[in-house]
Amino acid sequence: MYHKNIAIIPARGGSKRLVNKNIYLLKVKPLIAYSIEACLKSRSIEEIYVSSDSEEILAVAAQYGAKPLLRTHHLLMILHQK
């Protein structure tokens, strides 16, 4: 049986201190781009997903080669209950 190696990068949009900090520019690229590019360089990672509640973050992630996963309100409520 073949198992695919994936990377999941969580990127909250609603940070308490810096909202959408994952798309703030660090030098010349958004912060999240560095994580995505590190995954792209890895020989063992076959797919990269970015999970976020922010469509803006997901759009930036897609520009850098990640597959976007929009977190639903229902999922966020379940996660916050634990």
> CA-to-CA distance for 4 and 17, rounded, in angstroms?
36
Name the pTM for this structure: 0.83
E strands in the chain: 6-10, 25-26, 29-30, 47-52, 67-70
The label of the residue with tokens 């509640």 reads 53
Q: What confidence tens digit (pLDDT) does each residue in 5-53 have?
A: 999 999 988 878 888 999 999 999 999 999 999 999 999 999 999 999 8
- Angle of the 31-41 helix axis to the 55-63 helix axis, nearest 10: 40
Tokens of 11: 């990127």
More confident residue, 23 or 82: 23
